[in-house]
Amino acid sequence: MKTDRNITIFGEDIIDSGAVEQLINCLHSPDDIGVLTADAHYGYAHPIGGAIAYKNHISVAGVGFDIACGNKAVKTPVKAAEVDVPKVMDEIFQRISFGIGRVNNEPIDHPVLEEIARTPFLPQRRMIQIATNQLGTVGAGNHFIDLFQDDEGWLWLGVHFGSRGFGHRTTTGFLALTQGLKFDDKPKQFAMSDKPLLLEADSELGRDYIQALDLAGKYAYAGRDIVVNKVLEILGTKAIKEVHNHHNFAWREKHFGEDYWVIRKGCTPAFPGQEGFIGANMRDTSVIVEGVDTDLSRKALFSTVHGAGRIMSRTKALGKTRWTKKDGKRLREIIRKGEVDFDKVQSELKHKDIYLRGGAADEAPECYKSLEEVLKYQGETIKIKHRLHPIGVAMAGEDIYDPYKD
């Protein structure tokens, strides 16, 4: 673990050097503070698993495209052994939409939609249709709905996703504005290693972004609440404990006696007494953690990991692919075999009585670090409250044609 006046790095020996260089590159002035958690890896202009405190600036790329992406976990008064997990997972996968651009098959009304329809920031107001269509859907990639059993046998459920297309379009719009373009223009591409474009928080554009950010955050929270409530309905039970937070956002906070804008990307707030749900992978144990007040916690800006941390790229895991048509369906064809044997992964999950719906090789357990190892590097900054063992996992699946199996 490395710490100096401006930078604190957890698990430096398990973090790629590119993430460290990227963190340093994000610092704008001598007053800025940077943190890397032990699950950190290279990201788009800002390392995933990184927190940066700016005095007067906000980084749009630092917050990222999935504004307010986060986790929610709830404990139920049901014993996991009493649940027909395969049946429940089938209904979850049937009733809840997963994947990029998917719409909700069971449309829902919510006060956040009225806020979007009336927001003074017109570009977001014009997104009301996509916001309405996608509210209560789950994204692709590592976004999930999981059922868990804790060490005492109680059933928990957890979800991980963010603000969907509404948040993504908000980010691309502000990236365009920072480049002197119109909100609806496509932003100019820049290298992942470039310095992030910063907004003056007190400027007109900065104030617009803060307002838009807040609304996208409300939308993400509403989506997770809706999905959790739908799963509780499927289970026929209720929540008796909730843990809900996000890890892609900008917060106004006081640290070391000074006010900062803290940008956390793939980085969970962990203030003293604050609980957080941290997911592992489709096979390993997830946790509920609680922040504690120590000197090291303060240097970390009261931030901790948001997951185990990716170590294998999606292309390396899945193989090189291209879009093709087979039997009238549009699907991805593997043209170079990847490193993950997903049949083996599925067999292992079945052997462990973990019921998987969806998923693909690029979300296999070997694509990630060990969450247990990652948490050890966070040391005295957090304590583990509950360990959650997966019994059902639902993720976006892909229609993949693998000629190597034929």
Whole-angstrom CA distances from 190 to 44, 173, 195, 344 are 9, 15, 9, 39
**Alpha carbon 168 to chain centroid, angstroms:** 13
Instruction: Give 329's strand partners.
Output: 326
Task: Count, in order, helices (H) and strands (E) of the chain.
Answer: 12, 21
3-state DSSP helix/strand/coil % of the chain, to nearest 5? 35, 35, 35
**Rounded to whole angstroms, how far apart are CA atoms 275 and 278?**
10
CATH code (residue 292) = 3.90.1860.10
Residue 32 and residue 54 in contact, taking contact as beta carbons nearer than 8 Å: yes
Instruction: Report how many domains make up the chain.
Output: 1
Q: Residue 198 belongs to what H/E stretch?
A: strand 198-200
Structural domain of 36: 2-59+68-405
**Amino acid identity at 331:** L
Walk along the chain (406 residues) and give the pLDDT tens digit of each residue.
666 669 999 999 999 899 999 999 999 999 999 999 999 999 989 999 999 999 999 999 999 999 999 999 999 999 999 999 999 999 999 999 998 777 888 888 999 999 999 999 999 999 999 999 999 999 898 999 999 999 999 999 999 999 999 999 999 999 999 999 999 999 998 788 888 989 999 999 999 999 999 999 999 999 999 999 999 999 999 999 999 999 999 999 999 999 999 999 999 999 999 999 999 999 999 999 999 999 999 999 999 999 999 999 999 999 998 888 877 777 878 889 999 999 999 999 999 999 999 999 999 999 999 999 999 999 999 999 999 999 999 999 766 766 666 5
Whole-angstrom CA distances from 84 to 113, 146, 195, 235, 391 are 35, 14, 50, 9, 11
pTM beyond 0.85 = yes
The token pair at 260 is: 């900062």
Residue 1 and residue 377 in contact, taking contact as beta carbons nearer than 8 Å: yes
